[in-house]
Amino acid sequence: MRLRRLKINAIFLLGLGLTGLQAQTSVNTIGGNAWGSGGSASYSIGQVFYQTHSRTNTSITEGVQQPYEILVVTQIEKVKGINLTFSAYPNPTIDILTLEVKKSDLSNLNYQLYNIQGKLLQSHKITEPKTNIIMSHLVPSVYFIKVTEGQKEIKTFKINKN
């Protein structure tokens, strides 16, 4: 009898729990995926209203199609003070991105330009303190500039191209 009552209570609680579960839903007119030489995008049409809730270190946007961002945090080997020796500007950019290196020895520095899928688009040696990277031929998207010294990764920039 006690085991039967326990089973009934478990089923009752499970039923209550399942009625409280809700997935993200919306009524859309149309939606789908689009592909091109610069990448792919998914879209939905029909959700007229959306809202963003922001706090100090968090931001949540209600809606059906949500962008995603993957960040990789690498360990800093030696921290003796903040020393910004590399910068990339303007970000977001439209045509030309300037990569500035404030370091006396440029002999072993290179940069690589990657698209959001991780495909290598450009790779060049850095020979001047300011290097212009032409981005006018690229589609609007997110790109990554990785600065390396020999085989060692020094800095990676996330670049938004409009």
95 within domain boundaries: yes
The residue range of the domain holding 122 is 86-161
* Mean predicted confidence (pLDDT) in 59-78: 56
Do residues 108 and 127 lie in contact, with contact meaning Cβ atoms separated by under 8 Å?
A: no
160: CB partners within 8 A, 6+ apart: 91, 92, 93, 142, 143
pLDDT of residue 125: 93
Please check whether residue 63 lies inside any domain of the structure.
Answer: no
Mean per-residue pLDDT for 130-138? Answer: 92
As for how many domains the chain has, the answer is: 1
Domain of residue 109, CATH code: 2.60.40.3580
Q: Summarize the confidence of residues 3-26 as an average pLDDT.
A: 60
pLDDT for 11 equals 67
pLDDT bin (cut points 50, 70, 90) of residue 124 is: very high
In a domain, 53, yes or no: no
Burial-class residue 97 by CB neighbours within 10 Å (0-12, 13-18, 19+): buried
Q: Is 30 inside any structural domain?
A: no
Residue 98 lies inside a defined structural domain of this protein: yes
> What residue has token string 């600065």?
147
Domain annotation covers residue 105: yes
Q: Is residue 70 part of a domain?
A: no
